[in-house]
Structure 1
Amino acid sequence: ERLFNVREGFSRKDDTLPKRLLNEPLPDGPAKGETINLDKLLNEYYTVRGWDYNGIPTDKKVLELGLTPLYDGPKIQVAIDERYMKDALPLAEAAYRGGADIIEAGTPLIKSEGLRVIKEFRKLCPNATIVADLKTFDTGWLETELAAENGADIVTVMGATDDYTIKDAVGAARKYGLKVMVDLMNLKDPISRAIEVEKLGVDIVCLHVGISAQIREREVDQKITIVENLVKSINTPVAVAGGIKLEVVPLLVKAGAKIIIVGGAITKSANPEEATRRFVTTVRKLWDEYKQKSNK
């Protein structure tokens, strides 16, 4: 029923109660004398049902029911690369409210605050997919296990490491129900390495220029050709990160990227929630247009 409602355009703004119930104090119970907090009520109800902040059933919940998700296109991942928890949490919540599919606890944040940030993100973003951007280079099993114990859904491993580390990470991920994203940062031949790690069973490969390089170059346009070639070379979903602005998104969607990772364009904007919403809306509109053309 909810999937039908979403398909017909209903959303969070349509979920309400009679004004009488919202305006009159509760007659009894623990909250006697208080009025109903609709926003809090919806958050708790959506969490229990397995819906996101906007009331849309998550892919995980839909698949559990043996159904097909309404949306099968590229997803927006928001990278939270703050240093302190106090700065990161409002950004994670804003990204979640804006409709981000994936929330990333960035490497600087994890190094500063520890993996406990994953648990804090989960409290604010109960039905989001959460990435622990560990950039693992050794102890693949242990670090993946630690990420799992703290509630992560995806863990990152460096493509420049040895195959054994990646195999260990994949083994732990299978045991604990995580996915492994391999970061192809700073590799001279990322496509060849992507082909190799695909054979090791990784779930996602990420073409990533990295923050330091991003500061020097600030452009991702030159990566488009590599993305296209990467998508053609492997069956594993391709994620792209590094200085991505809204105007680049159509190129990435056309190139075949399945996950578009956005950092500063959202987290450093005046309104991160609205900035996230613009990215999500743009990607979904582009994907709908692509599917319509494909069906003709």
Structure 2
Amino acid sequence: MKLQAAIDRVSLKQATQIAHQLDGIVDIIELGTSIIKDYGLETLKAQDFKLTKSELLLDLKTNDEGKYEFERGYQTSADILTVMGGSDESTIQQTYAVAQAKNKKMLIDLIETSDKKINQLTDYYQNAIFGLHHSKDSTEAYDAVASIEQFVKKHPTIKNIAVAGGIDLDQAQKIAQQGLANTIIVGGKIVGATDPVKAAQKFMEVIK
């Protein structure tokens, strides 16, 4: 199982520092959508985010202009980019084609994506990561373990699952024991900690 640390809502200087602190500690380092919107791809392209051990994910949340956004996104040092599962399928086709051509990875963010739409995607995007994502703005309680179990029952052919949504150490351990997800995405519990490295190491201990 992989651990992805999501860096969001901090300055570019802080994001850079945290990313390099966590390089090699976690499997994937994510620069969240807020970082991309605040600073833009041109700035991130110029910034030194070339990690030595961890993969870099940029959470573009592409919803249209798939080919253009993914080609631009991969001009940075990103290994993984994200597209919204609820976008038009032609957008998903374009982003997937770019990712495959560049030998990169793509995560399909399934926030508010219907089961019908997910079923349409499963046959064509086997190399994609499917991201279960509970909305930060949602007031509903979220049980990540139960959500993963329900998702796998509905979509048993999907093999690469990432899960995000307020996951703490206890939930991370339960998800690891469950053995159905491939990647756990943690944001504030790592990046917002007094010592992000120590916090990340604790998460790694419970999931490995």
What TM-score do you get using the length of structure 1 for normalisation? 0.64
1:209 aligns with 2:131: no
**Take 2:5 and 2:48, find their aligned partners in 1: how far apart are those partners?**
12
Q: Unaligned regions of 5+ residues in structure 2, if any?
A: none
1:271 aligns with 2:182: no
**Structure 1 moving runs of 4+ over 6 Å:** none
1:134 aligns with 2:60: yes
Larger Rg: 1
SS in 2 for 1:231: helix
**Take 1:140 and 1:82, find their aligned partners in 2: how far apart are those partners?**
24
The aligned amino acid for 1:267 is V
What TM-score do you get using the length of structure 2 for normalisation? 0.89
Any residues of structure 2 matched to 1:1-296 within 5 Å, and which? 74-96=1-23, 99-115=25-41, 116-117=43-44, 120=47, 122-123=49-50, 125-187=51-113, 189=114, 191-201=115-125, 202-213=127-138, 216-217=139-140, 220-221=142-143, 223-232=144-153, 233-253=156-176, 254-284=178-208
| Relative contact order higher in (CA < 8 Å, ≥ 6 apart) | 2
Which one has the bigger strand percentage?
A: 2
**Cα deviation, residue 193, structure 1:** 3.0
**Take 2:48 and 2:157, find their aligned partners in 1: how far apart are those partners?**
32
2:16, 2:49 within 8 Å by CA — same for their partners in 1? no
1:105, 1:118 within 8 Å by CA — same for their partners in 2? no
Aligned identity (percent) is 33
1:183, 1:208 within 8 Å by CA — same for their partners in 2? yes
**Take 2:117 and 2:132, find their aligned partners in 1: how far apart are those partners?**
11
**Cα deviation, residue 220, structure 1:** 3.4
**Cα deviation, residue 148, structure 1:** 1.1
**Cα deviation, residue 192, structure 1:** 3.8
Distance 1:121 1:106, change over 3 A: farther
Number of aligned residue pairs: 203
**Take 1:272 and 1:118, find their aligned partners in 2: how far apart are those partners?**
24
Q: Unaligned regions of 5+ residues in structure 1, if any?
A: 1-73, 285-296
**Take 1:119 and 1:100, find their aligned partners in 2: how far apart are those partners?**
23
Distance 1:119 1:101, change over 3 A: farther
**Take 1:269 and 1:84, find their aligned partners in 2: how far apart are those partners?**
16
Cα RMSD of the aligned pairs, angstroms, is 1.8
Which one has the bigger helix percentage?
A: 1
The aligned amino acid for 1:230 is F
**Take 1:192 and 1:205, find their aligned partners in 2: how far apart are those partners?**
15
**Take 2:44 and 2:207, find their aligned partners in 1: how far apart are those partners?**
28
SS in 2 for 1:156: strand
**Cα deviation, residue 80, structure 1:** 0.6
SS in 2 for 1:182: strand
**Take 2:2 and 2:84, find their aligned partners in 1: how far apart are those partners?**
21
